[in-house]
Structure 1
């Protein structure tokens, strides 16, 4: 919104962005580049300043889209390419006495592999290689176009040079000047005697309506971010941001009922999560689109349970580098009897009922219990694939071939029919206007759900400290915390992305 406001605000002559150590996925990076390019079409200048000691590929990817790029001569730029790492815990679990027992549907649905294997499966490597190759190609092509350098030059910079001082970056045409930030401000001030710097924080308080934009008909933007579970929005120390189905469903219903809201955009950035909340979200979206258009806009992730949500919408928009699909399911549990043995703890039990201990964390599943769980997840997988087939106008067999837990990039998903449109969030806005009968020239008001928590609330909701001076008690308490977290997700069918990506 800030760049959109600045583009039409006569008081704003230029914008400086500082992309320092960006920690977002390549879907969002593409959208940032698209926003910068859109701003430049206003005729105003936008400059990038790389002011950190070290700037990296993602920072420069965004900075390269600006009119000019500056950094101190003494700073460093690293163009390293793309690397994906997956951490495996099998050997660690063996050492602490934890046994991971998981079942899955789909040969690519290998989320449990992090717990049951010590390295990637061939299927996981196949998918990750395809993703990394596409991202690398996009990095080279985007920087090449933005900086008017050949793809071969960019490829050579990445693979033969990799690290650049600010002076080297300028000499090679990667940046336009060596300046400290104070010097950049003086340089810009010389171009306009009436220049008064304004921080992004202060400008964010400027209402869009004051500029006669975003002040007419309304479109709801429901932010669907994090791992799906059945409660309210929260933070989890292992899984990060949690997408509370209860919160999102309430927001969907509120937006659907509002006479002022003409369309709904689901802004999805989710790897999936628990299966039943995912299905509940699907049902809420199905009901909402009976009343008004619903558009799914996938940023970084719309995978597994995240795709379960997206497929319920009238149409799906994703960037080429979004990660979507992962149509599959798994279920499992962690058994802690080995841990108890190491700590000198004993568990005894009595039961009535052949499978009364199926959810116990001190005994593994036997063959009959495995069959019970397998039947449950097989039924969910069949329902998942059937719903995708109906939503995407394909046969069950066609979707099953695309499913199997396979993660696709947005571009791949577009070509195989799992996504309708390649584009950004602004593409979704334009589609929402068209489907709601709003002229494309009209600047609609975006109503965001839910309201964001303050930084302090976010911090306090995710921090917990346990202090104990007795070593064995500290170990027991710490393991009990881990157990509590793991037990929340075991014995439940999960529609979750089969890996967590960390791009170096």
Structure 2
């Protein structure tokens, strides 16, 4: 048995070393070829093609496998490349396949604006899908497709534009049945983060708040469809209320232009544009025509839950993670770079750690104190901690469908003593100090601990609302009504004073020009902070992690081998006197 364990550890170490060495060579060759193929010589006249899979990621990925396959274009990448193509004389049209797309409101609106800017250059745009939302849920995906000049749908396909719905399970009875007691609380009635564990169903307050949110978002989709397809609002509403709509019926209702297959749609665009060559958007790079004198603006992307700590060493992690250490380091580098004149902070987060949010908030303020204006631009989400970090920005931009606000807090724990009793599990406990282990799931809060817990929620909520009020210049007597955990659409948030302007990066750049007192036609060079890793660096990081793992396994094997062989683990001790 001992020899078997030692052998297993040795085998694992060898495997990881082989993986590190072999993958090092293969990945190096693969990425070298990939980098060479990534920028092919483009024809003088071309059509751009794009197949959207699900929803494009909010930030760039650090995953080497995604980079190797080319599946790494972020939403910002797509928008910037379409914008660049609009000005590129080589590009004659745009073809997008929506067969596997599933877009959020904000992402659809961001892409729709880019498509409109492309069309403004009198370049044709064609949308195709074999079916759109086979199981429903394609309302905003279709709202984006409706902005194209021509929309094609496969004959067997349908439009699953069945509106918007929110569903959530309520687990309080199930938790009680298994002996789990939620000890949670929130500030305030609209926060909605813990009610699924503590209540039997939606409260009237939360139901009303979420109903207003979905009604607001659906109204935005209806307007996009009506304007894009040049039909009445009533007809757009009727289409949504009678979905799914078969392809032939969609033609009759002017929701699509033609039935056909992908090859048919692409051929039609080629004929219309008199252009045969096609280039994937992945392989297209916007020509750099900016003068050297263009003002440099740092772009800092952060997506996902707001967490404490640094960016970490995970080779599969996203470069745009919302780790406080990574974001603060990016702000610090931008502030210290004398060539950077301002910062655009791209946020896509449902929230997270209050302490991490506070750390990032201070970095935003430090940039402003250094004389560098900050414009926050929001993606799909910028809620709770995601809104907290935006609050001090000089300007805040959001899409109409961005989910933002949620100015509130919740916290607590689950007490598992009832579950342990049912399972016959007993915990021994030793503690020193009256409050030791107060966050343990193996005991309830004492009355004194619960009172302090309530005080901490009040303190965090008061701090949150005061900072938003100061950053947004909202009187405190109005702030509480805007806060209380309510989630706003971007459009409603603008009306409430939480957002300055609706839009995306284009509008953020315009606001930055104004803050820097530059003319409307001043050219700004957007520079990512930190600089994105190239594919080779990502591969090296990946291989390095494999080698580190092999080293650790070897270290464990070396330490365990004497014990497994029956030898002493004790070593002489040197005592310094």
- Using structure 1 for the length normalisation, give the TM-score: 0.83
**Aligned 8 A contact 1:266 1:296 in 2:** yes
> 1:21 offset after TM fit, Å?
4.0
Cα deviation 1:296-321 (Å, max 9, x = unaligned): 11122221111111111111112222
Aligned to 2:200: 118
For structure 1, the 5+ residue unaligned runs are 236-240, 461-504
Cα deviation 1:83-103 (Å, max 9, x = unaligned): 111233323433443322112
Q: Does 1:179 align with 2:257?
A: no
Write out aligned runs for 1:365-444 (5 A).
Answer: 365-444=445-524
Aligned to 1:470: none
> 1:256 offset after TM fit, Å?
1.6
Aligned to 1:325: 405
Aligned to 1:20: 99
Name the CA distance, whole Å, in 1 between partners of 2:500 and 2:526.
22
**Aligned 8 A contact 1:263 1:433 in 2:** no
Aligned to 1:314: 394
Aligned to 1:34: 113
Aligned to 2:432: 352
> 1:7 offset after TM fit, Å?
0.6
Structure whose alpha-carbon radius of gyration is higher: 2
Aligned equivalent of 1:198, options 259, 265, 279:
279
Q: Does 1:224 align with 2:224?
A: no
Cα deviation 1:372-413 (Å, max 9, x = unaligned): 111112112212222122222233222122211122222222
Name the CA distance, whole Å, in 2 between partners of 1:97 and 1:342.
7
Matched residue of 2:202: which SS?
coil
> 1:190 offset after TM fit, Å?
2.9
The runs of at least 4 consecutive aligned structure 1 residues that moved more than 6 Å come to: 452-460
Aligned to 1:11: 90
Write out aligned runs for 1:57-206 (5 A).
Answer: 57-159=139-241, 161-191=242-272, 194-203=275-284, 206=285
Name the CA distance, whole Å, in 2 between partners of 1:66 and 1:193.
18
Please give the root-mean-square deviation of Cα atoms over the aligned residues, in Å: 2.6
> 1:331 offset after TM fit, Å?
1.6
Task: Count the aligned residue pairs.
Answer: 451
Matched residue of 2:98: which SS?
coil
Q: 1:186 to 1:312 in 2, by over 3 A?
A: same
Q: 1:415 to 1:54 in 2, by over 3 A?
A: closer
Aligned to 1:474: none
> 1:337 offset after TM fit, Å?
2.5
Aligned to 2:526: 446
**Aligned 8 A contact 2:95 2:266 in 1:** no
**Aligned 8 A contact 1:103 1:332 in 2:** yes
Q: 1:350 to 1:372 in 2, by over 3 A?
A: same
- Using structure 2 for the length normalisation, give the TM-score: 0.73
Q: Does 1:266 align with 2:358?
A: no
Cα deviation 1:328-357 (Å, max 9, x = unaligned): 112201222233334332102122222113
**Aligned 8 A contact 2:290 2:525 in 1:** no
Matched residue of 1:289: which SS?
helix
Cα deviation 1:195-235 (Å, max 9, x = unaligned): 211111111xx2431x5589933221211211111023479
Q: Does 1:334 align with 2:414?
A: yes
Q: 1:242 to 1:94 in 2, by over 3 A?
A: farther
Matched residue of 2:388: which SS?
helix
> 1:42 offset after TM fit, Å?
1.0
Cα deviation 1:448-499 (Å, max 9, x = unaligned): 2453798999999xxxxxxxxxxxxxxxxxxxxxxxxxxxxxxxxxxxxxxx
